[in-house]
A and B are shown apart, each in its own frame.
Chain A
Amino acid sequence: MPEMTLVQALRDALAVEMARDDRVVVFGEDVGRRGGVFTVTEGLQERFGEERVYDTPLDENGILGMAAGMALMGLRPVAEIQFVDFLWPGFDVVISDIAKERFRSGGQYGVPLVIRSPYGGGVKGGLYHSQSPEAIFAHIPGLKVVIPATPSEAKGLLISAIRDEDPVVFLEPKKIYFGIKEEVPEGEYTIPLGQARVVQEGSDVTIVSYGALLHEVLRANETLKQEGISAEILDLRTILPFDGPTLLESVAKTGRIVIVVEAPRILSVASELAAFVAERAVDYLDGPIVRVTGWDTPFPYALEPHYLPNVRRIVHGVRRALGLVP
Chain B
Amino acid sequence: MQAPEHGTLTRPTPFTREPLRFLNEEGLPEGDRDPREVTGLSDAQLVDLYRAMVLSRKVDQMGWILVRQGRAGFYISIQGQEGAQVASLLALEPQDWVMPYYRTPPALHVRGATLVELFGQILGTNADPSKGRQMPAHFGSRKHRIFVLGSPVALGHVVAMGAAKALKYSRENAVVISYGGEGSTSEPHFHSAMNFAGVYRLPLIVFIFNNQYAISVPRAQQTASETLAEKARAYGFEGYYVDGSDPLAVYWVTRFVAERARTNHTPALIEALTYRLDPHSSADDDLKYRPREEVEAWKQRESLARMRRYLEHLGLWNEEKEQALHAEYDRAIEEAVEQAEQAGPPDLEEMFHEVYHTTPWYLQEEAREARRFAEEQEGSHA
Contacts and interface: CB of A to CB of B under 8 A. Distances in A.
Interface of A: 25, 51, 56-57, 59, 61-62, 64-75, 77, 89, 92-93, 96-97, 100-110, 141-142, 144, 164-166, 194, 241, 244-245
Given A56-B196, A92-B189, A96-B155, A165 B358 contact: yes
A59 B192 contact: yes
Contact of B134 (A56, A93, A104, A142): A104
13 contacts: A51-B169, A62-B195, A65-B157, A68-B159, A69-B161, A72-B147, A72-B166, A96-B155, A104-B138, A105-B129, A109-B142, A142-B356, A244-B361
B357 A61 contact: no
A64 B196 CA distance: 11
A56 B163 CA distance: 16
For A61, A66, A72, A244, which residue has the most chain B Cβ atoms within 10 angstroms? A66
B360 A101 contact: no
Contacts of B113: none
B323 interface: no
Contacts of A65: 157-159, 161-162, 189, 192-193, 196
B152 A166 contact: no
B355 A141 contact: yes
A68 B150 contact: no
Interface of B: 128-134, 138, 140-142, 147-148, 150-152, 155, 157-167, 169-170, 176, 188-189, 192-193, 195-196, 199, 353-358, 360-362
Nearest to A113: B162
Contacts of A57: 195-196, 199
B152 A92 contact: yes
B159 A72 contact: yes
Contacts of B353: 107
Nearest to B168: A51
B274 to A, nearest CB: 26
Contacts of B357: 102, 110, 164-166
A235 to B, nearest CB: 19
For B134, B161, B162, which residue has the most chain A Cβ atoms within 10 angstroms? B162
B165 A106 contact: no
9 A-B pairs with least C-beta separation: A69-B162, A65-B158, A106-B131, A73-B166, A165-B357, A241-B360, A62-B192, A69-B163, A106-B130
A241 B162 contact: no
Contacts of A77: 162
Nearest to B162: A69
Contacts of B151: 96
B367 to A, nearest CB: 13
Contacts of A194: 360
B152 A101 contact: no
B196 A73 contact: no
Contacts of A241: 356, 360-362
Contacts of B193: 62, 65
Contacts of B128: 106
Contact of A103 (B133, B189, B196): B133
Contacts of B354: 102-103, 105-107
B159 A108 contact: no
A166 B162 CA distance: 17
Contacts of B161: 62, 65-66, 69
A70 B142 contact: no
Contacts of A164: 357
A142 B355 contact: yes
B178 to A, nearest CB: 10
Contact of A70 (B141, B147, B152, B169): B169
A25 B162 contact: no
A181 B167 CA distance: 40
B164 A69 contact: yes
Nearest to A89: B188
B267 to A, nearest CB: 14
A141 B362 CA distance: 12
A51 B165 CA distance: 10
B162 A66 contact: yes
A59 B170 CA distance: 24
A56 B165 CA distance: 12
Contacts of A110: 357
A166 B159 contact: no
Contacts of B140: 105, 108-109
A96 B130 CA distance: 16
Given A75-B169, A92-B155, A109-B148, A70 B362 contact: no
Contacts of A142: 355-356
B159 A93 contact: yes
A61 B361 contact: no
Contact of A93 (B155, B195, B360, B361): B155
Contacts of B129: 105-106, 108
A185 to B, nearest CB: 25
A165 B140 CA distance: 20
Contacts of B360: 194, 241
For A25, A51, A69, A92, which residue has the most chain B Cβ atoms within 10 angstroms? A69
A165 B157 CA distance: 24
Contacts of A144: 356
A101 B169 contact: no
Contacts of B141: 108
A104 B159 contact: no
A110 B354 CA distance: 9
A103 B132 CA distance: 10
Contact of B160 (A59, A67, A69, A104): A69
Contacts of A89: 188
Nearest to B197: A62
Given A62-B161, A108-B140, A241-B362, 17 more contacts: A61-B189, A65-B162, A68-B162, A69-B160, A69-B164, A70-B165, A70-B166, A72-B147, A77-B162, A97-B150, A103-B133, A104-B130, A104-B134, A105-B148, A107-B353, A108-B130, A165-B356
